[in-house]
Each structure stands twice: as C-alpha cells, then as structure tokens.
Structure 1
Amino acid sequence: MRLGALLGTDARADVTGFAIDHRKVAPGTVFGAFRGARFNGEDFIPQAVAAGAPAVVAAHDVRVEGALHIAADEPRHAFALLAAKFFAPFPETVAAVTGTNGKTSTVELTRQLWRMAGHHAASIGTLGVTTADERVTTGLTTPDIVTFLANMAGLKREGVTHAAFEASSHGLDQHRTEGLPVAAGAFTNLSRDHLDYHGDMAAYFTAKLRLFSEVIEDGGTAVVWQDDEASDRVIDLARERGLRLVG
C-alpha cells in the first residue's frame, strides 16, 4: 500500500507495516513515536528511520529527519487511525467491554452466545484471542494497537463476523482500541485499581469513559449494569452521545 493512500496525499513510499517498537521496524514500516511512562519512543526515531521507516507519527514539537513527519496533537490516536486503514477489513460486528471486574467473563460469554446464535465469533482479552477452534495468548488484557488491529484483521480473514474485546483503562488511555468500528460497549462496574498508573480514581474513570465518549461509533449501543455507583455517569454520557441504552 502506498503511504499516500493512507494520508490522502501523493506520497509514493510503500508501506509494509506499522510498529511502535523501533526494533520491529523494517523497510516500509510506519513508526509511532510516543511518550510513555517508562520509555520515550521519540528517542528512537533515528534508529527507526535508519531501519527503513518512511514516516513517523509523533507530536508536533518532535524533530524527524530522513522520513515524513506525520505530526498530530494526539499521536497515538492518529497512528491508530492510519494503522486501521492499513489492516482493514475487520469483523462486521465488534463490541467492547470495560469496567474494573467482569470484563473477561463478559467478553467470553458474549462470544459463546454469538456462537450459539450461529455466528463465527471470537474474543480478545486476558485469556488471549479465542475462537471456537483455538486460543492464542497475547499477554495483555488489551494488546498494543498494532497487535490488536492485526489480530482483528486476522480474525476477519478466518471468517469471524463477530468479535468482543476487553477495553482496559490502560488500553483506552493509550488509544489501543481505536480505528475499527465498535458497534456496542458495555460497562460492568468501577472500583479502585491501577492507581499506580492513573494517579487517582477520577483519571481512572475518565479513561474508562472514553469507550462511551469516543470509541463506540455514532448510533451504537451502550450496555450498562445500573447497580454501580458510577453507572449514572456512564448512562448520562451515553445519552449525550445519542447511543442506544440497554441496562
């Protein structure tokens, strides 16, 4: 695929893949350079360019030499949208589940219900990538964006039509669930967790809410367990978006 086809420009460089780890860059790989909690991907831009990256997605104030600088206010989001164009198509129906507890069981039960309804279904989450035929471990509740989109595209090639995935607070905060159409999202509950990363409960909840404010497509569905103290905020947000409410 030509870079211009992804950007809507006349850029002629060939794109062969996407990576957020400079060690995985090969000729034609678009590199995402992000500032993280432990490492700053911007520090590895020269290595990525030397390895053959034709373009680097990074913040506006980052210096990129030897490759096209795709500058964005939110580089992770911009990278996800470009990567989704590269990896598409995806399963026709995709649903996401967020909340402190119950994500794993909910996505697995959703997969099984879809299968019993006659659909070729899969789930992605803590248990790995699960289909009716196999389970492959990924090591993370929500994989990195490249792995996530590649897995979803692979499921589509295998004939999967329905996929459910766990949307962790880390994954939502780091835009690891972006790019593909998400028709429905579910909220299970909220309790103290991951404060070492988010800092406080407000930031933790805000990350969860991104599923309903930004990730679910317009006209989608929000499934909310109403017996949690945090549920009212989720319901209000879903109504503000005009999402169909089930709960």
Structure 2
Amino acid sequence: MKLSSLTDQLTVEATTGIQPSVDPDVKAVCYDSRKVIPGAVFVAIEGFAADGHRFIPAAVKQGAVAVVCRNPVMVDAVVIRVADPRAALALLSSRFYGQPAGEMILVGVTGTNGKTTVTYLLEQMLKKAGHRPGVVGTINYRYAGKALDNPVTTPESLELQAILRQMADAGVTHAVMEVSSHALDLHRVDGCRYDAAVFTNLTQDHLDHHGDMDRYWACKKRLFVDFLKPADADHPVRAVVNGDDPRGQELVRVLGAAALRTAIYGDGDILPFAVIRDLAGIRGSIVIPGGEIPFASPLVGEFNLENILSAAGAALVLGIPPVAIAAGIDATPCVPGRLERIAEGGERTIFVDYAHTPDALENAIAALRTLTPGRLITVFGCGGDRDNSKRPIMGEIAARLSDLAVVSSDNPRSEDPLTIIAQVEAGVRQVYTRRLSTDALKNGWQGNGYMVEPDRRAAIGAAIGAARKNDAVLIAGKGHETYQILANETIHFDDREVARQVLAAMNEAGA
C-alpha cells in the first residue's frame, strides 16, 4: 500500500521531512519503535509512561519511511503532523488492515461490570444459532477454536484491527467486543461501527483516569452516540440497556425506540419471570416482546441474572431465535474468574471472583450472602496505581456483608502494599474494630471481625483454613488473572490455583 493511500483519510496539519513528496510503499504500521521494520510507518503516540516522539530517531534508524506525530521533527523520512496521533493510529490501522470491522457484524458491550459474562453468553447463543462468533475481551481474544492471551480489555487500535482482520479471514460472522471506557477515550475503537451495543451498568471505577463519574459516563455513552449505527427500517432496534441503572434510564431517553430495556425491578422490554436462584444456578423464564424463553443457567447471583437478560436482549437485536437463546444460556459454563466455584471444597464452598470495584464486590458478596447457610469469609485487596478513593468504600462493603473480612494485597504495582491495605482497613473499621490474628483463626473464631495479611497466598490459606461446614469463602479481586504485579516484577499467581493447593494440603493432613 502506498503512503498516500494509507493516509488519505487523515486531517494533516503539515507534511515535512527530508523528502516530503516521496510516496513510499508501506509494509507495516507501528507505535512501538522496537517493532519497526523497513518500510514501516511509525506513529508517535504520547503514552502514560513515555512519549513516542522520543523514539522517532530510533524508528527511522530501523527503517521507518514515514513518521506520524504531533510535534515538528527533522529526520530522514516523511513527517506527517497531525493534531492527535492516537486518533491517526486508529484510522491508519483500520486502513492498513483493509477495514475488517466492516466485513463482520460488530457487537459492543460496555459498562463497569458484567461485560465479560455478557460476551460469553452471547458467544454461545450465536453458536447455537449456527453463526461463527469471535470475541475480544478481558480474559482473551478467541475465534475459530483459537484463544489468545490479552493484556487489556480492549487492545490498542493497531492490535484490535489486526485481530479483526484475522477474524474476518477465518470466516467469523459476528465480532463481540468488550468496549472499555479507556478504549473509547483513547481512540482504540475508532474505525469501528457497531451493529448492536449493550450497556450493563455504571458504577465507580477508573476515576484515576477520568477524574469524575460524569466524565466516565461521557466516555461510556460514546459507544451509543458516536459508534453505533443508526436505527433504520431493517434494524429498528440497535441497543440493549439496563433499565434498572440510573445512567441506563438516561441512555434510554437519548436512544428512544432504538433501545430495548432490560429490568429486574422496573419496567422493561426484557424481564425475568418465576426465577429461582440458588448455589446450583438460576432457573426461570425471560419475558420478551411477544413471548417467553424458559432457561436454566449454572451462573450464580442476581447480577448474573442481569447479565443473562442483557445477552438475551442483544441476541434478539441480532435476530437470534428464542430456542438458540435458551440453548446458549444452558451451554455457557462458569465464566473464568466470575464467581467461579472451586470444586474441591468438600463441605466448604469456595468461589473466586474478579470483583475489583465497589459495586462488583457488593454484588458478589451479596449473592453468596443470601445463598450461604453458614458464615461468609471474604479475601480481597485493592490494586495499586489506580483510583484510591474506592479503597475505604470496598473495605466497608466487605466488612458489612461478610462475617470475616481478610484484607490482603491485590496487584500493588508501584505502591507500598501496606499503604493500600491501611486505606482499605479504614473502611473496614467503620464496621468492625475487632482485628483477629492468624492464630485466632487457627484456633476457631467466634463472632465477626477482620484480619490483615499482606501475603495473598497466606491470606487465602488462612481464610480457607478458618472455614467450617456450610461456610463460604469468596476470594475477590483478581479472578481469572494468573499473575500478580509487584513494584519491580510480575510473578505467577492464580487465586484458583492457590485455593486448590490449600485444599489439597488440608485434605492430605486430614483437616
């Protein structure tokens, strides 16, 4: 592809360099100078850790034939100056990979919590209807029997367009994407036009990036206002919105008839009926316009009922028949790290969940609280280098809803783990002032309280060891993650693996 063809959609402020009129062939688009090959276009984006402008000379030395950047530079390559290199990267990436999003039906799922589970459910519904779905999400990217690890919910635009190209070439019919607020704010999904979109909920998260809830919401809303295709005669409904959520109600007023409303408590187009919720899952019927869908799911908790309704609504928007919706719900196993049951628990019930926001933590604990005949023990922490205002809030929630709150480390990153724990503990102590020792737990504890154990492995061991018959243990915060991010290294760490190791050791010891 010629440079002129690749860049003809950019709003260019100036073209300079040693030979600005040269129109070279482009072999790659890169924003990481270490990945530049001869014939590449290097886009200098201003990242959180480093400014790509610093690496322009290195990129040119490695063979970049053109540079796209904000600031003027003089190098032996074509220099294309733009106002926003991130936005330019998205357009260039889509163009370079042949605009693959337009070759598939694109579905976007956004919201603070529930995105991953909704995509898993919708994936199975599409399969049961005979389609070939691909998924871009928090746990992985998967299509055509392949699963690829991913570092973020929605990848940078270059990687996203490459993945969509692979999906389209593999015959994927529907690309189902988790769309994060970061992705919308940082132009990662520019170049994508969605055929359908789902809003799950909006609660506190990512305020370290957005500043306040209004700006956070403004980013989320863009999926429906800026990226969703308009309704037309063939597609009168494009969106599925949680009508129980206050921001969802606001969104319904904006979208009007182009949105289907899900609801458990209020008015809606998609409603639950005669639902039974227990530790075996959720069973009942979904009332839809013109009918009813009986269903049974192994997923646990009321928040998963919300996710089931959202996925069913998206399936209806896509024209999937009710029988395939029901079959898809039944076929969706426990989603990795989402109230995932650790099977070897014997008389103890142990769950691992990704809950790392106040609302998600409250939903997970509340779900188990209503289903647990004995005591409920929650192990949790808060991530470092993230919104610290939610730390005492999560501490208060865990203490209020649990019989024993075990405060530990999550991914401390560059922060001091003890500082994070102290901020969480401030919230815990609004409910419990009784701090228990490890020895107290080993000797059998009575009443309510909390303990602090910075070592997450030891915290999990203490919690499981303290559980008795009919008790439940929730290990929250990391879910499907198989690592722990420390100040100077990232180590292997999997809550599920650790829990199973603890249980195996206890079984061997006859505990």
AA aligned opposite 1:225: N
Q: What is the match of residue 215 of structure 1? A: 227
For residue 69 of structure 2, what is the aligned residue in structure 1? 58
Q: In 1, are the aligned partners of 2:29 and 2:92 still within 8 Å (CA)?
A: no
What does residue 121 of structure 1 align with?
A: 133
User: What aligned pairs does 1:154-173 form with structure 2 within 5 A after superposition?
Assistant: 154-173=166-185
Aligned partner letter, 1:228: D
Is there any run of 5+ residues in structure 1 with no aligned partner, and where?
A: none
- Tell me the residue number matched to 1:183: 195
Distance 1:71 1:213, change over 3 A: farther
Matched with 1:135 is 147
Does residue 248 of structure 2 align to residue 231 of structure 1?
A: yes
Q: Secondary structure at the match of 2:188?
A: coil
Q: Give the conservation status (yes or no) of the 8 Å contact 2:99–2:191.
A: no
Question: One-letter code of the match for 1:125?
Answer: G
Amino acid across the alignment from 1:52: G
2:6 aligned residue: 6
Q: Give aligned pairs, total.
A: 243
Matches of residues 189-200 of structure 1 in structure 2 within 5 Å? Answer: 189-200=201-212
Query: 1:146-182 CA deviation, whole Å, 9 max, x = no partner?
Result: 1111011001111111110111111111111121332
Q: Distance in 1 between matches of 2:63 and 2:157?
A: 20
- For 2:22 and 2:226, the matched residues in 1 are separated by 29
What is the identity percentage for the equivalent residue pairs of Structure 1 and Structure 2?
38
Q: Tell me by how many angstroms 1:235 deviates.
A: 2.8
Q: Which residue of 1 aligns with 2:258?
A: 244
Q: How far apart are 1:58 and its partner, in Å?
A: 2.0
Q: Answer with 125-134 or 19-28: which moved more.
A: 125-134
CA distance in 1, matches of 2:7, 2:49: 30
230 and 29 in structure 1: CA distance in 2 versus 1, 3 angstrom threshold:
same
Change (3 A) 1:64 1:118: farther
Q: Give 1:153's aligned residue.
A: 165
SS of residue in 2 equivalent to 1:159: coil
Task: Quote the residue 1:43 is aligned against.
Answer: 54
- Mark the CA change 1:205 to 1:113 in structure 2 (over 3 Å): closer, same or farther: same
| 2: CA distance, partners of 1:96 / 1:19 | 25
Residue 82 of structure 1: aligned partner? 92
**Structure 1 pair 58–212 and aligned structure 2 pair: CA distance change class (3 A):** farther
The runs of 5 or more residues in structure 2 that have no matched partner are 10-20, 262-511
**Paired residues of 2:144 and 2:172 also in contact (CA < 8 A):** no
For residue 112 of structure 1, the aligned residue among 102, 113, 124 is 124
CA shift at 1:22, angstroms?
Answer: 1.0
User: 1:32 is matched with which residue?
Assistant: 43
Distance 1:58 1:237, change over 3 A: farther
Structure 1 207/183 Cα, relative in aligned 2: closer, same or farther at 3 Å?
Answer: same
Equivalent residue for 1:72? 82
Aligned-pair distance for 1:67?
2.5
Q: Following the alignment from structure 2 to structure 1, what is the Cα–Cα distance between the partners of residues 254 and 85?
A: 25
Instruction: State the Cα distance separating 1:93 from its structure 2 match.
Output: 0.4
Q: Could you tell me which amino acid in structure 2 is paired with residue 27 of structure 1?
A: P
Residue 64 of structure 1 and its aligned partner are, at CA, apart by 4.9
Equivalents in 2 of 1:183, 1:125: separation in Å? 18
Q: Is the 8 A contact 2:144 2:170 kept in 1?
A: no
**Higher RCO structure (Cα 8 Å, ≥6 apart):** 1
Letter in 2 for 1:38: A
* Counterpart-to-counterpart distance in 2, 1:120 and 1:89: 19
Q: TM-score of the superposition, structure 2-length normalised?
A: 0.45
Shift of 1:237: 4.1
Shift of 1:215: 2.1
Question: Partners of 1:159 and 1:92 in 2: how far apart?
Answer: 9
Q: CA deviation at 1:7?
A: 2.5
CA distance in 2, matches of 1:64, 1:119: 51
Q: CA deviation at 1:216?
A: 2.1
Q: Which has the larger radius of gyration?
A: 2
What code does the residue aligned with 1:232 have? Q
* Aligned-partner residue type, residue 131 of structure 1: Y
What is the CA-CA distance between 1:132 and the residue it aligns to?
A: 5.1
C-alpha distance in 2 between matches for 1:204 and 1:8: 32
Is the Cα–Cα contact under 8 Å of residues 111 and 163 in structure 1 kept in the other structure?
A: no
